[in-house]
Chains A and B, each alone.
Chain A
């Protein structure tokens, strides 16, 4: 047997697993009756519906009549750089302050572009830090830790 519609097959598998996961989670809460539902009732049945529908999608993808699709390759390098620099921003925001971590976020994420150049990335980072200072801190009055905490300037 051959898997023709790979996209649909894996989506179906994912939906089924997530549905079962939620339904299992719901059994930890009280179910109640249909007249007096507990917190588990609605999510349990939603999860079951999702699991069934997911199975239908996955089975449909295995039928010989299914349209053929493949899953495009994942670009883990880009994924890692972008998501990594966002998480880094989150980690550094408290200890290093907005200016430094924002600067690193821009330069770091720029590495993901296939046209990366240090000059453009650095200029862009400086521009965006100044812009954020003007728009978010001066303009909208949002409160951020601004400077590295060890300097004691906040």
Chain B
């Protein structure tokens, strides 16, 4: 059994005390960030990126991955207890989760969410282990034209499934791609858009953009709204779901996991969409749809499992094709490149210990989260009471120090400040930052493959549609755009995302 060999290699890497410690650290940090509303995984991972420079690559990635799924867990805690999604993927959890808490079943809701997430995490981890090798076989058949088309599909997928206005999101992607052009052109050595500033010749670091647009701008928007004091559900009740709740939740967990795993693999898919899809599915299948929104266990457990499975499965396109499906994965690309690892199909063969170690650590991380979260719920509840006036200077400090330690250069601090101002303006114009970040990371890769594809075809643009694999990827992207542009779906999409604003 090759799979078993791989997994045992993975576990031997992940079970070293050092890596276990970093997984634990990542999970704790992730949960912490997830619990606090207004601080998401993207700025956190961006803040901590510089720190992973000093860690060995495996440990760094394990920690970042831990943060990512930790936030999924933490976000649901806030959603259930405070009726406030700590994380966008927890938006759906609020609907039935908080109602359960209102009914005095907060403890049961929290543990159902934890059990569902754990189950989903286990299944998705196995799925990655099983499907990554064959998928990366396919990836080796990819030429530059296919890569370009795949990235196009990924970018389109990311905006189509995201909330907000579609043309604006596409504009943000283009803008991100353009920002990715800043710096020295690899082919000709010409410094582009550097305005004669030597620091700009290396390009704009995405951590700087992420911290400015997500970190600083987020702080500015939050401060403006004054501090919304959150009302806490103090009664947590029994931690164990009763038989009836469990019976109602169990099939939803299985279905949610399946749905999340499938949607997560699609580039641009991921946890938010999976959670929405699962909620709709459960409501459709249920014999008593009227109980949804009033504390139905299936309406909590399904989306919770789905968002965790989706979060986990979105590692598949990253690890096999080197294409990040969402902003967090884009940051993971950055973390890999820092350590001179080019994400893509070759990672599995050139760095097997990293690849399988990361996968094994995902399972360990999920286990840690369950063990951690149930007893620590009381601590998280207290944490929610930390006032924002103490919290935001701390975030500011970590961002600033993180940015400085990228290159030990104060120029980076100023650039981040500028992006903070820009991000604040964008927030006012309701232009989203996530597509921009994806574009920024993919920009240089896309240009490189675009140029290579056209070099090979001697300047013939039809190469993208003549090669079958590339053509089908582009067709899929086109179908996505058309689907969203159709009026009936557009309406539905608006309804689905209404709660997010």
Contacts and interface: CB of A to CB of B under 8 A. Distances in A.
Given A37-B454, A115-B389, A78 B220 contact: yes
B389 A128 contact: no
B421 interface: yes
Nearest 4 pairs between A and B by C-beta?
A35-B459, A90-B413, A34-B459, A113-B389
B130 to A, nearest CB: 37
Interface residues of A, number: 72
B54 A140 contact: yes
Contact of B428 (A72, A85, A114, A124): A72
Contacts of B397: 102, 105-106, 128, 132
B334 interface: no
Interface in B174-206: 174-175, 177-178, 181, 185, 187-188, 190, 192-193
8 contacts: A7-B428, A50-B174, A90-B404, A93-B410, A110-B389, A113-B389, A121-B393, A124-B393
Contacts of B216: 82-83, 86
Contacts of B220: 75, 78-79, 82
Interface string B422-454: 001100111100000000000000010011001
Contact of B174 (A11, A46, A69, A128): A46
Interface string A1-45: 000000110111011001100100110011001111111011100
Q: Is the interface of B mostly helix, strand, loop or mixed?
A: helix
Contact of B393 (A37, A41, A128): A128
A53 B392 contact: no
Interface string A108-135: 0110111110001100110010001000
A8 B165 contact: yes
A141 interface: yes
Given A82-B216, A82-B220, A128-B393, A105 B177 contact: no
A71 interface: yes
B400 interface: yes
A83 B203 CA distance: 22
A99 interface: no
Contacts of A110: 389, 393
A19 B174 CA distance: 9
B170 A53 contact: yes
A16 B185 CA distance: 24
A74 B192 CA distance: 33
